[in-house]
Structure 1
Amino acid sequence: MTKPKLSIIIHAEEEFNWDRGFFRSNTDVSHGRELIDFVDDIINNGAKVTLAMDYPFIKSSDGKEVINHFRRLEGKDIEFASHLHPWVTPPYDDDNDEVENYFSFPGNLTKESEFNKLKNLTDEIEKETGTRPITYLAGRYGFGRNSEEILKSLGYKVDLSISSYTNFTENGGPNFTDYSNEVYSENTITYIPHTCSIISFSKMIEDHFNKNPSSLKIFEKSKITALISKILRIKKYRLSPEGFSVSEMIEVTEAQLRLGQREFILSFHSPSTKIGMTPYVNNQKELDDFKKSVLDYIGWFNNNLNGMAFLPKCL
């Protein structure tokens, strides 16, 4: 049987308050040193890291420091990928600082605007790193109707934008509730979803919904079905240290292993490596717990599962 494989995907981006809207002026990046130190720890513990970088990150002095530090490891333990936050990526269509929530999802832009922004980001990453990225992660997982064609035209080979079992339509985003964690290829693009799983006290129920994600829609329709969901303790966990403990991340992994999944993505946002930059890390204890959960999970994955590390572009 194929060994399970793990990739660490870091959404390398600017620092902003997620609850206060999307502003072009929010471009600060001050966590470069913290990110370098933690990524070094991750690599030293036997994992590989993809830095999915957005425009403010690569244009900042801290971002450039991160790139320069890891340039020698590109293609071995590090992959430089792109991460499109359209509200802070030129060219812009107007002079407004605040961007509507709807247009924070790249796939909701016009085809021309999405192409121009991603081309600009792609060119800048190549300029800063010396490597043209072939792996893409849409900001806010905002993959849209034109995204695949745009990716192909710019030479991309891998997309990481699918968030399994997740529905973003309430905020104007895509609906991935019909998607499992299965890796698949279509029109020259390989799609590797961010790993999520449905968890329940009953493994039979758990397996059913993980195998048939579209059946989860029944729990969106009424208070009665919501109550049933609560009774069955049906929850969705993400393979991430942001909001999830190491034991919960292991639950995700074990649930998906039972279904035959072999490729896993653990993800988090780069500002979480510095205190006070995301809702997940507000003090030293939370930072220590955050780091420990990632490293403990990597150790468990490698030692208990005899797992392997991979970079998306090398899959």
Structure 2
Amino acid sequence: MVAKLLVVIHAEEEFNWEQGFHSQNQAVTHHQALIPFMGELIGLGAKITLAMDYPFVDSPGGREVISHYQQSADQQVEFAAHLHPWVNPPYHASSSAESEFESYPCNLSPEVEYEKIRVLTEKIQSVSGLPPVTYLAGRFGIGHHTNQHLRALGYQVDLSISAYCDFSHQHGPDFSDRTNAPFIDNTICHVPHTSSWLSLSRQIERKANRSPSWCKSMNRWHITRLLGKAFRLRKFRLSPEGNDFSQLRAITQAQLNIGQKVFVLSFHSPSLMAGMTPYVQSTADCQLLKSTTRQYIEWFQQELGGEIVLAKEMAVAQG
């Protein structure tokens, strides 16, 4: 099987990540950087899954992005859904701020979670002219009822799992026993966001990546911390946010070594402008993110002989 890459952009509003979750954060001004950069990536042979939240789709800037790439839809760009519950109607909180607990869609009541996904789905279809078939929960907040909602609303693919990651300390889901392998549940094809354990010891690296339950049990005995110190065992996400090209290549190789063939490269759209996310604080940071993304996409195609696909194509591939 040829290695496949999904390029997923979390297209969302701009907000200060350290100041909580507020419904009034609706601004999207980074479209001026997003439009040309998407064009660069497409020019390199990439296909882009644009996972859009409500403020993005509802804003003049976001609508400009959608309009610009409407002719490319179905071939080079996919308009997907990305639920940030704190800025997505219907609003149910008594104040404009939501708690960290409520920022995970899976912690909402089933009725509220469904309504928010439904409203977002209809907004994307009304603006783009296409019903979204790929879903990404904000903060990877997928829960027990999410699959049922997605089926009812016509979705085929979900990107809401973050392999090897545990968000339970923030009231979020625990994916520490999940690998990057796609799977089908209740007709929905789940493609996890790619993460990988890396270590100076290839043996420990392979063990951690092949058997996440082993890592989980080691963590219970606080052994993971010791391994981290002794063998530099650390977890990395396949993203140009905070990683350079050599790290992205190492993440990919570590997963190829255990037979993984599907990868998700992701970043947040506001990271294309300095000062809008913690990952990109300067113009130099911004340029590094862009060059790293371009270099990785070229490497994946030219050196690995890999194929770049839209998320929705995975439903066909897995079916």
CA 1:7–1:224: 2 relative to 1, 3 Å: closer
Letter in 1 for 2:116: K
Report deviation, 1:219. Answer: 4.2
Give the SS at the match of 1:102: coil
| Distance in structure 1 (CA, Å) of the matches to 2:34 and 2:227 | 42
Count of residues in correspondence between the two structures: 314
CA 1:224–1:299: 2 relative to 1, 3 Å: closer
CA 1:201–1:74: 2 relative to 1, 3 Å: same
Is the 1:219–1:229 contact (alpha carbons within 8 Å) kept by the matching residues of 2? no
Report deviation, 1:224. Answer: 5.4
Is the 2:73–2:79 contact (alpha carbons within 8 Å) kept by the matching residues of 1? yes
Moved more, 70-79 or 224-233: 224-233
Report deviation, 1:92. Answer: 1.2
Does 1:285 pair with 2:314?
no
| Distance in structure 2 (CA, Å) of the matches to 1:218 and 1:158 | 30
Q: Which runs of 4+ in 1 moved over 4 A?
A: 222-225
CA 1:24–1:53: 2 relative to 1, 3 Å: same
Letter in 2 for 1:206: E
After the TM superposition, which residues 126-275 of structure 1 pair with which residues of structure 2 at under 5 Å, given as runs?
Answer: 126-222=125-221, 225-275=224-274
Partner residue of 1:13? 12
Is the 2:215–2:224 contact (alpha carbons within 8 Å) kept by the matching residues of 1? no
Structure 1 gaps of 5+ residues are: none
| Distance in structure 2 (CA, Å) of the matches to 1:227 and 1:309 | 38
Structure 2 gaps of 5+ residues are: 315-319
CA 1:239–1:230: 2 relative to 1, 3 Å: same
| Distance in structure 2 (CA, Å) of the matches to 1:258 and 1:143 | 28
Report deviation, 1:260. Answer: 1.4
Is the 2:273–2:286 contact (alpha carbons within 8 Å) kept by the matching residues of 1? yes
Report deviation, 1:223. Answer: 5.1
| Distance in structure 1 (CA, Å) of the matches to 2:61 and 2:171 | 32
Give the SS at the match of 2:2: coil
Report deviation, 1:214. Answer: 1.4
Moved more, 56-65 or 199-208: 199-208
Report Cα offsets for 1:157-189 as digits up to 9, x if no partner.
100000000000000000000100001111110
Is the 2:57–2:124 contact (alpha carbons within 8 Å) kept by the matching residues of 1? yes
Report deviation, 1:222. Answer: 5.0
CA 1:224–1:122: 2 relative to 1, 3 Å: closer
| Distance in structure 2 (CA, Å) of the matches to 1:276 and 1:91 | 30
Does 1:75 pair with 2:56?
no
CA RMSD of aligned residues (A): 1.0
Letter in 2 for 1:217: K
Letter in 1 for 2:163: S
